[in-house]
Chain A
Amino acid sequence: MAAPFDTPVLGDVDERRIPALKVGAMAESKPYVATAAHQEPLGFPGVLEDGWEKKAIGRMGELLGKYRSLQVFMDICVKCGACTDKCQYFLGTGDPKNMPVARADLFRSVYRRYFTTAGKLTPGLVGARDMTKEVLDEWFNYFHQCSQCRRCSVFCPSGIDTAEISMAARDIMDTIGQGQKYCNEIIGKVHKVGNNLGLPAPALLNTLEGLEEDILDETGVPVKLPIDVHGAEVLLVTPSADFFAEPHVLGLIGYAKVFHAAGVSWTLSTLASEAGNFGMFIGNYEQMRKISMRIRDAALALGVKRIIFGECGHAWRVAYSFLNTLAGPWDFLDPRYPVPQHILEFTNDLITRKGIKLDKSGNDGMVLTVHDSCNVARGARMGDRPGGQFTIPRDVIRASVPKLIDMHPDTICEKTFCCGGGGGVLTDELLDLRLKGALPRMEAIKEVADRDQVNFVAMICAICKAQFTKVLPYYGFKMSMAGGVHQLVSTAIVLGNEQ
């Protein structure tokens, strides 16, 4: 596997090595620009048209008036630099424009020019810039080197979240006709086919039947994977990757086994066969809302009482933090349960109540560590206490595997690194960026692999799983070392008395 670029050398986590600046190192890194065929179905102009500069500034003004986060974050940065060594893309590439403050300044410089007194009067003094094609291209390249993981927002003394700024930048670029192919093509598929991967309903049904047979062969237990079952108790919404490839599909089998063992009726939906919501990546409220409404429609159509989400990071952020806003109120569901629930909340609750039995010997020989998926860690919660998003997955893991070792404290929980593939950069043309962005995480894995013989990394996100299986081999790890938490539950769960 010859890469057209160098895989970075892994360093010592404890040293917290900060790279020397390599100005322009990633200036050429950019995803494909969306064509009219990807843009127009979402209501965006197909190409950049004359007068786009004015339109961009107009849209910027609109967003400033609609989002307090954007307006406040534009004004309050003091350039203290607390964030400068926190982004995995800076740590991996050394490109100074990947320091959160510098990335935000690409946007802020334009804001200053058109929306502030200081920028109108003395642009040179405060670093204000006109909106030009050069600036736009720089936006396109560097706002697609941000995975919206919010790590910078943990450390900013004013709480500035670069994710909000890169979402706004992407929204503006879509609005003027320079969108990103990867995200917009996928959103088009959700609207047209129902999920990100574009798996049509017959293919889905076929896959589920095949999985049922596999489980029966392996365990002798007729575990079902129901879809479009009217009147089921639970609607499960999971990323479409779970229907498609390993290790994702092993997690789906895990969910099915848990529902089976607990005796809870459940169903998937062809209408909402996707948990992910790429509307967030492009910062577009209307798209995010439209994608979310599918879940409401599916829940109403199937007459379910609860909605549970499968393992998916950004999906869980949109589900946990935004779904009530976007597609609520959920007054037609069973009020005894939070809406939506995470599958880990469901499984953990069953474990605590002894509703299911787990046998760790199913995972004998496994020494495991947890990669806290960024959008779950910093953009959402599980359970009824702050930080439940860290303890609940670990509790489920401890119940399923013999040994759990945490990575360096600067790289887990709220300080976790993004896998390097989140927020709309999980596309092949950005592999160089993804590989370099994975560096801090790989360093932390290497430390526990060398010291504690850790041989498996658990994560709760479809993007993390796809990204890890891709980049692990470049760093000398086995591809099969990454997988979901329910993959572990699946091999540990005791399936009743059928056998």
Chain B
Amino acid sequence: MTTFFAILFTVATLTLVIGLGLKIAQYARTPAPLKIPTTPAPLTKPGVAFRLAREAVVFESLFKANKPLWIFAALFHFGLAVVLVRHVRYFQTEVGPLVALVQPLALPAGLAMLIGLLLLLGRRLVLERIRYITGRSDILMLVLLLGIAVTGMFMTKHVHTDVVAVKAFFTGLLGFEIRSLPGDPLLVVHLLLVAILMIVFPFSKLLHAPGLFFSPTRNQTDTPREHRHLCDWAAKLEDKRS
């Protein structure tokens, strides 16, 4: 069991890091030949950074679009963010200040995440328009996240696992040393699902996380008259002409 998970998490981490790295490299490498920010758009780079921050942190556009959906999404994402930060303690020998700070929020955050996911799933099943655009993979993704959240919450609230041993396993893994992992069924399911999530991340719609920052409608300054924007392949067309 321990060996299986040691291998699984090594594979999952490599897939996540390399897969995501390749995708980000692809986005960064692909030119944006034209200025296409959705206007009104910021005129300066700090302005663009602020716009992206608003999109990433408070989901500005989604707020304009749909208030209930914004609440559901915020519940899930903020909950997830806190839970993720809290999980850093499984990878640190000394618990850092940020992790300590969110410690009391752990339970409400987990709950928010769970409720958010249930609302998002319910919405997909109930609303005709959303049911129409929902594919099997969209449902599976929510089920996967729900599985992770439910098993995690159960371990926090009811069926405790040996968290010290879990921590030892992961800190050990970071130093390429295999330490034994508790065999509790809930933990096994939890970790299995997390590993699956890590593996599918670079191949799925979860790419929206890094992708947002490469979205030309959001990350460009509105300065086409002031600065000539010319990508490499477009510049080559000019060489041909003159």
Q: In the assembly, what is the distance between CA of A324 and CA of B229, in Å? A: 7
Report the minimal beta-carbon distance from A415 to chain B, rounded to whole angstroms: 8
CB pair B129 A21 closer than 8 Å = yes
Q: In the assembly, what is the distance between CA of A381 and CA of B36, in Å? A: 12
Chain B's closest residue to A155 (CB) is B65
Partner of B208, one of A77, A161, A338, A380: A77
Q: In the assembly, what is the distance between CA of A340 and CA of B224, in Å? A: 10
Report the minimal beta-carbon distance from B22 to chain A, rounded to whole angstroms: 11
Instruction: Give A351-397 interface residues, CB cut-off 8 Å to B.
Output: 377-381, 386-387, 389-390
CB pair A81 B39 closer than 8 Å = no
A289 at the interface (CB under 8 A from B): yes
A328 at the interface (CB under 8 A from B): yes
Partner of B38, one of A73, A81, A86, A153: A153
Instruction: Give A56-112 interface residues, CB cut-off 8 Å to B.
Output: 64-69, 71-73, 75-86, 96, 99, 101-102, 105
Partner of A325, one of B40, B128, B233, B234: B234
B99 at the interface (CB under 8 A from A): no
CB pair B36 A69 closer than 8 Å = yes
Q: Which residues of B contact A155 (CB under 8 A)?
A: 61-62, 64-66
B33 at the interface (CB under 8 A from A): yes
Q: In the assembly, what is the distance between CA of A161 and CA of B216, in Å? A: 9
Q: Which residues of B contact A20 (CB under 8 A)?
A: 128
CB pair A289 B40 closer than 8 Å = no
CB pair B211 A286 closer than 8 Å = no
Q: Given A68-B214, A116-B203, decide whether A386 and B43 contact each other with a Cβ distance below 8 A.
A: yes
Instruction: Give B172-230 interface residues, CB cut-off 8 Å to A.
Output: 203-205, 207-208, 211-212, 214-218, 222, 224-230
Q: Which residues of A contact B69 (CB under 8 A)?
A: 80-82
B118 at the interface (CB under 8 A from A): no
CB pair A154 B43 closer than 8 Å = no
Report the minimal beta-carbon distance from A185 to chain B, rounded to whole angstroms: 25
Instruction: Give B1-55 interface residues, CB cut-off 8 Å to A.
Output: 23, 26-27, 30-36, 38-43, 55
Q: Which residues of B contact A153 (CB under 8 A)?
A: 38, 217
Q: In the assembly, what is the distance between CA of A390 and CA of B39, in Å? A: 11
Report the minimal beta-carbon distance from A66 to chain B, rounded to whole angstroms: 6
Report the minimal beta-carbon distance from B30 to chain A, rounded to whole angstroms: 4
List B residues at the A interface (Cβ < 8 Å): 23, 26-27, 30-36, 38-43, 55, 59, 61-62, 64-66, 69, 73, 123, 127-130, 132-138, 140, 203-205, 207-208, 211-212, 214-218, 222, 224-230, 233-234, 237
Q: A66-B31, A78-B208 given. 7 additional CB < 8 A pairs?
A: A66-B233, A76-B207, A76-B212, A77-B205, A79-B135, A161-B36, A338-B225
List A residues at the B interface (Cβ < 8 Å): 18, 20-21, 64-69, 71-73, 75-86, 96, 99, 101-102, 105, 116-118, 124-127, 150, 153-161, 164, 285-286, 289, 320-325, 328-329, 338-340, 377-381, 386-387, 389-390, 414-415
